[in-house]
Structure formats: C-alpha cells, structure tokens
Amino acid sequence: MAFNGFSSSGQLGQPMAEINTTPLVDVMLVLLVVFLITAPLFHQAIGIDLPKTVATPTVEHDKALHLSLARDGRLSLDGQGISQQALRLRLQADSAAKPELQLQADQATPYQAVAEVMALAQQAGVNRIVFVTQPQPTH
C-alpha cells in the first residue's frame, strides 16, 4: 500500500514505496504457533473398522516350492524338514527353472526369521516369493 506523506513544509511528497511487513510477520508467527500446538494431535491413532475382504486364490504352479516356517524357526520344504543350508543348496539347484517359492509362516513367527528366509531365497536366485495365508472365514 502506498500512502502519501506530508513533508515538513506541508506539501505532498512522493508516495511511500516500501511495504510494511510487520503485520504479515505477526500473522505468520501466530499461524506457526497454532500449527505447532495442533500438529501432535494429527498423529493420534483413530479406531476405524477396515472392510473385510476375501482374496481370490492364486493359480497353483507346477514349479512351486512350498516352504513352511514354524514359530520356533523350523523349516519344512514340501512337507519334509530341511535346514537353512540344505534349503539354500536346493534353491540354488532349482534356480535355473525359476521356481516360485510359496512361504507359509506361522502368525507367531518373529519377523526376523521370515526376513532371514526371504534373504536366503533371494541369495539363492529365487525371484518370486508368494506368501500363503489362510482364507478368512465367511459368515
């Protein structure tokens, strides 16, 4: 905003060319304080009911390997117990055929154990890992 000012002799002078930013800074500081106070409120969890869905079953592949991981870390490949080293060798031997690894882990299995099996499969050359779950009961 440009206002005319009076000179000391009472004559009109040049319009003031500077913008007074003090009100703008005051408003911005007030908004900053308001946002700093209210920002932590946005991160609180709100209880919501998510929709229940039923996934369509995937097509079984003939080249799929079924790996089960128990909550205590025991591994079972196609129904037979196997060690991690033997699993690595088996996956490396089958990596040329590009098998699909279907991983079924107990819900109480620590994530660390699942991550180790996934890393082992990746190092052995497996490109596709499918997580097997139980279908949700329908009512």
The pairing of beta strand 75-77 with beta strand 80-82: antiparallel
Extents of the domains making up the chain:
65-131
- pTM, to two decimals: 0.52
Q: Which of 74, 88, 70 is nearest to 125 (CA)?
A: 88
Instruction: Name the architecture of domain 65-131.
Output: 2-Layer Sandwich (3.30)
Tens digits of residue pLDDT in 74-101 = 888 888 888 888 888 888 887 777 678 8
Tens digits of residue pLDDT in 52-61 = 656 666 665 5
Q: Compute the mean pLDDT over every residue in the chain, rounded to the nearest whole number.
A: 78
**Six-digit token pair at 134?**
């139980």
pLDDT, average across residues 101-130: 86
**Six-digit token pair at 83?**
């060690």
Is the predicted pLDDT of residue 5 greater than 70, yes or no?
no
